[in-house]
Amino acid sequence: MPRMIRSLAIVLVLLAAAQAWAAGERDVTIAQGIDAEFLDVQMTNNIVTLIINGSIYDTLLTRDKSLAIQPRLATSYKLVGDRMWEVKLRRGVQFHNGEPFDAEAVKFSVERIQRPDFKSPQKGWFSTIERVEIVDAATVRFHTKVPDPAMPARMTLMYQMAPKYVAQVGDAQANLKPVGTGPFKFVEWQKNERIVVEANDAHWTGKPAIRRATWRPIPELGARIAALQTGQADLIVNVPPDQLPMLAATKSVRVEKIPSCRIISFQIAQIKGGPLADKRVRQALNYAVDMQGILDAVLLGNGKRINSWMPPNVWGHDPSIPFYEYDPKKAKELLAAAGQTNLTLTLQAPNGRWAMDKDIAQAVAGQLTENGIKTNVKIIGEWGAYVRSILDHKTEDIAMAGWCLPSLEPDHWVTPNLKTGEAVSQYSNPEVDKLMDQARAEMNPDKRKQLYSQLLRVIRDEAPYIFGYQQMDIYGVNKRLKWTPRGDESIRLTEIGF
Amino acid sequence: MVGYVGRRLLQSLGVLLGVSVIVFGLLHLTGDPTRLLLPLEAREEDVRQLRALLGLDDPLWVQYGRFLARAVRGDFGLSFKHQVPALALIFQTLPATLQLTAAGLGLALVVAVPAGILSALKRNSLLDALCSVGVLLGQAMPVYWLGLLLIMVFAVGLGWFPAAGRDGWTSIVLPATALGAFSMARIARMARSGMLEVLAQDYVRTARAAGIRTFVVTYKYALKNAAIPLVTIIGLEFGILLGGAVITETIFAWPGVGRLAVDAIFSRDYPLVQAIVAVLATLFVVINLVIDLVYTYLDPRIVYVRSAR
């Protein structure tokens, strides 16, 4: 008898183990560097936080893998007047709490961000919207203060909140127990430990392949890689190029890469005046750096050069604009013509913000020095201090700068960085300002594209940057996942299969 | 005794007040946090609005007064970054840190005290030499290096423990080892030297001469006397580990108050930093007080008189 009980117990244990294995098979753990800041999606502009929230909330429009705009909770949109967009909403969609999604929810979601007492960092994203008009339950109109061709791009960031739920539980609870219409439902959030979501089988796009997903913050790179190697994580982000051989040695793991929307360059402080106010000097700086050589040597080829201040995966980019080719002779000629043959500059760079940032900065400074422009490197390790130097317009002569915004709207690359008086801009040029204003208000897409082409050509010629490269986003993935990365730094659970 | 405790409590309040002034001053020296809380492309108007909402427009002394008036009621305000009460965030993460610290110190004690005593008893033996090497290594290895080494060997290589996170008891073994290693070395060294000193005392020799068994002499008479400096260092170690868990927590993705503090400092989250410092300083002060009281138990000759001067 005891023997039989023992056998039975063993069978039960094995069964339970098999069941646990089966349940775990379609579970996925993703390790990023930081935890979500908020699960009230309207309280954040942080890319990691938006990625996590993207599984719980839906937006009106979305971007497919090629980053083209596609319908989501909005089925269609059209321009009715110069300052009015009419949007048709998907019918029959429900929030996770059963509340219906309709025009009221859209109005509520926009107005919540615009409320002066609501501390949302997304205010700027929707600052052109004057009011939201409800036409019927499935139709809304956005009235804008100015003609705004970026409205579709803005709608890809319009996350929909459940109005009754938020009113009932309050903002604080809405953050701790988020309710959206997304393909995954919130399960738990242990601060700095994990966020768990489970499949919303009632989602209008159908049942997700993943049953349960866990987002884990693992700040230390070594531990993140170890978690992937031991199967504790299935997908990890921000793998630096020099770690690739180590990942390649692990059988269960593969590497995925994609050129990102994030571009990294060296911003030249033209507004400081002096030699840097001379276009020829700025151009000389570009000719004096062998960017491709640096990318190959430092990033092991993981980076793609850019021809002006916009990445190829953002609409408006013009591939026909020529790159600055490495030409030390031309650099010397330009410097001589400008009467700047004895130039000493300082270049500032952060440490650990972008892959191998400090090393790249040192290589750039090294080449400038080699080609007659003595360049000292100043590393500002603390990001807060780095940002402050930029916002206070007190950068050194050259500052390493990276940029990517989730809107993928061309204006959001040029205006904040190059317009006169903008917080981040270290450059001023009335001609460029005028072109930017024209392009951001042009409602005809063909004409608008032409304007950006013209603008980017002027920027290339004006050289307010030593033009750098498109960052390569590198992921470590467990081979059991079917997944390829996106160029907008996002990870969508619905794009993961087995 | 009661008077002594009362006086110590008053002194502690003074310490905490001093800490709060220093932290408040230092934080505000680092500059205005509003620009860091908003996106880089934010408009000046949004910046002004947020600054007013956070109460950063008021003069510094008004801000400090407001902070102090709230703090004495246990209200440290809303975290700028997370928009929830700062204290709630700390109480959410403090258990993980206390758990890690206790495990690290526990592990250190379990290994270090017997090792220290044994190497004192078997002075100049092979065991003593091995312990000395262990102590040297423990004190020389930086925790981030040891942590990664432990992950490589025991998580990736052998697969015995998870590499990161806080899931079940197995996940605490590696971080506790990494955290405890330094203390382990220090405690072992103290235990050894303390024991050697006591063993050379007259009363130990007398006890031995009186024919009392070695075991009793060692553990009843010698150990209790050697324990006083040990208790001091253990108390201090606990405080140091509590504050020093930051690196270990980061390496092993342990969701403790150390990581919370680092994030808060980098994002200039004033209320959260102030609350964390206040809570940790209070813990430190309480631990020190407890140690002082434990002395009287260990050595009844230590009495607290009114005017010790």
Domain at B86-298: CATH architecture: Orthogonal Bundle (1.10)
Higher pLDDT, B213 or B308: B213
- In this predicted complex, what is the ipTM? 0.77
Residue B303 has a pLDDT of 63
- Ranked by mean pLDDT, which of A278-282, B57-61, B274-278 comes out on top? A278-282
Query: Does B41 score more than 80 pLDDT?
Result: no
Question: How many residues does this entry show for chain A?
Answer: 498
Contact between B159 and A231 (Cβ < 8 Å) = no
User: How far is the CA of B164 from the CAs of A24, A225, A254, B95, in angstroms?
Assistant: 19, 10, 20, 17
Look at A470-474, B69-73, B304-308 and tell me which has the smallest mean pLDDT. Answer: B304-308
DSSP per position, A404-458: --TT--THHHHHHHHSTT-SS-----HHHHHHHHHHHH--SHHHHHHHHHHHHHH
Q: How far apart are CA A429 and CA A420, in angstroms?
A: 7
Average pLDDT, chain A: 91
Helix, strand, coil content of chain A in percent (nearest 5): 35, 25, 40
Domain at A41-169: CATH architecture: Alpha-Beta Complex (3.90)
DSSP per position, B148-166: HHHIIIIIIIS--S-SSS-
Look at A129-138, A414-423, B182-191 and tell me which has the smallest mean pLDDT. Answer: B182-191
Please state the rounded mean pLDDT for residues B228-253.
Answer: 82
Query: Does A382 score more than 90 pLDDT?
Result: no
Look at A194-203, B165-174, B285-294 and tell me which has the smallest mean pLDDT. Answer: B285-294
Confidence of residue A388 (pLDDT cuts 50, 70, 90): confident
Contact between B112 and B184 (Cβ < 8 Å) = yes
How far is the alpha carbon of B99 from chain A, nearest alpha carbon, in Å?
15
Neighbours of B240 (CB within 10 A): 17
Query: Does A1 score more than 80 pLDDT?
Result: no
Q: Residue A132: in which H helix or E strand, if any?
A: strand A129-136
Above pLDDT 90, what percent of chain A? Answer: 78
Helix B86-121 to helix B223-251 angle (10° resolution) is: 130
Q: Is B92 exposed, middle or buried (0-12, 13-18, 19+ CB in 10 A)?
A: middle
CATH 3.40.190.10 for the A27-37+172-258+474-495 domain, yes or no: yes
Instruction: Return the residue matching tokens 């990625």.
Output: A51
Residue (of A343, A377, A430, A388) closest to A266 by Cα position: A377
Are A423 and B42 an interchain contact pair (Cβ–Cβ within 8 Å)? Answer: yes
Residue A22 has a pLDDT of 45
Closest CA in chain B for residue A46 = B39
Q: Measured on CA atoms in the order A309, A311, A314, A316, is the torsion positive or negative?
A: positive
Q: How far apart are CA B118 and CA B301, in angstroms?
A: 28
Higher pLDDT, A107 or B128: A107
Contact between A291 and A326 (Cβ < 8 Å) = yes
Q: Give the single-character DSSP code of A326.
A: P
Q: Residue A217: in which H helix or E strand, if any?
A: strand A212-217
Are A416 and B41 an interchain contact pair (Cβ–Cβ within 8 Å)? Answer: yes
Q: Where are the domains of chain B?
A: 86-298
Higher pLDDT, B24 or A131: A131
Residue A7 has a pLDDT of 61
Q: Give the single-character DSSP code of B199.
A: H
Q: How far apart are CA A61 and CA A74, in angstroms?
A: 6
Long-range contacts of A332-338 (CB under 8 A, 24+ apart): A332/A284, A332/A371, A332/A372, A334/A280, A334/A281, A334/A283, A334/A284, A334/A287, A335/A280, A335/A281, A335/A284, A335/A372, A335/A373, A337/A280, A338/A275, A338/A278, A338/A280, A338/A281, A338/A284
Look at A269-273, A421-425, B51-55 and tell me which has the smallest mean pLDDT. Answer: B51-55
For Cα atoms B2, B6, B7, give the angle at the middle one, nearest 5 degrees.
120
Helix, strand, coil content of chain B in percent (nearest 5): 75, 0, 25
Higher pLDDT, A79 or B286: A79
Contact between B156 and A226 (Cβ < 8 Å) = yes
Domain at A261-471: CATH architecture: Roll (3.10)
Closest CA in chain A for residue B41 = A416
Helix B270-298 to helix B257-266 angle (10° resolution) is: 140
Query: What tokens appear for B133 in the block?
Result: 């090497």
How far is the alpha carbon of A202 from chain B, nearest alpha carbon, in Å?
31
Q: Where are the domains of chain A?
A: 27-37+172-258+474-495, 41-169, 261-471
Are B151 and A384 an interchain contact pair (Cβ–Cβ within 8 Å)? Answer: no
Which residues from A are below 8 Å from B42, CB to CB?
121, 123-124, 423
Are B268 and A412 an interchain contact pair (Cβ–Cβ within 8 Å)? Answer: no
Q: Which one of A171, A229, A383 has the shortest CB-CB distance to B266?
A: A383
Q: How far apart are CA A218 and CA B244, in angstroms?
A: 18
Q: How far apart are CA B277 and CA B258, in angstroms?
A: 11
Residue B1 has a pLDDT of 65
Largest CA distance in chain A: 101
Are B165 and A119 an interchain contact pair (Cβ–Cβ within 8 Å)? Answer: no
Q: Residue A142: in which H helix or E strand, if any?
A: strand A139-144
Residue B286 has a pLDDT of 84
Contact between A438 and A296 (Cβ < 8 Å) = no
Residue (of A261, A193, A173, A177) closest to A34 by Cα position: A193
Residue B205 has a pLDDT of 80
Above pLDDT 70, what percent of chain B? Answer: 97
Q: How far apart are CA B166 and CA B171, in angstroms?
A: 6
Query: Does B293 score more than 80 pLDDT?
Result: no
Query: Does B297 score more than 50 pLDDT?
Result: yes
Higher pLDDT, A163 or B99: A163
Q: Which one of B50, B156, B253 has the shortest CB-CB distance to A230?
A: B156
- Ranked by mean pLDDT, which of A243-257, A382-396, B211-225 comes out on top? A243-257
Contact between A179 and A96 (Cβ < 8 Å) = yes
Residue (of B217, B201, B237) closest to B112 by Cα position: B237
Per-residue pLDDT of A12-68, as tens digits, reads 545 544 444 444 789 999 999 888 989 999 998 888 999 999 999 999 999 999 999
For Cα atoms B243, B247, B250, give the angle at the middle one, nearest 5 degrees.
120
Higher pLDDT, B117 or A455: A455
Query: Does A214 score more than 80 pLDDT?
Result: yes
Which residues from B are below 8 Å from A410, CB to CB?
none
How far is the alpha carbon of A229 from chain B, nearest alpha carbon, in Å?
7
Higher pLDDT, A281 or B208: A281
Residue A2 has a pLDDT of 53
Long-range contacts of B71-78 (CB under 8 A, 24+ apart): B71/B20, B71/B274, B71/B278, B76/B271, B76/B272, B76/B274, B76/B275, B76/B278, B77/B271, B77/B275, B78/B271
Residue B182 has a pLDDT of 84
Closest CA in chain B for residue A122 = B39
Residue B308 has a pLDDT of 44
Q: How far apart are CA A321 and CA A228, in angstroms?
A: 41
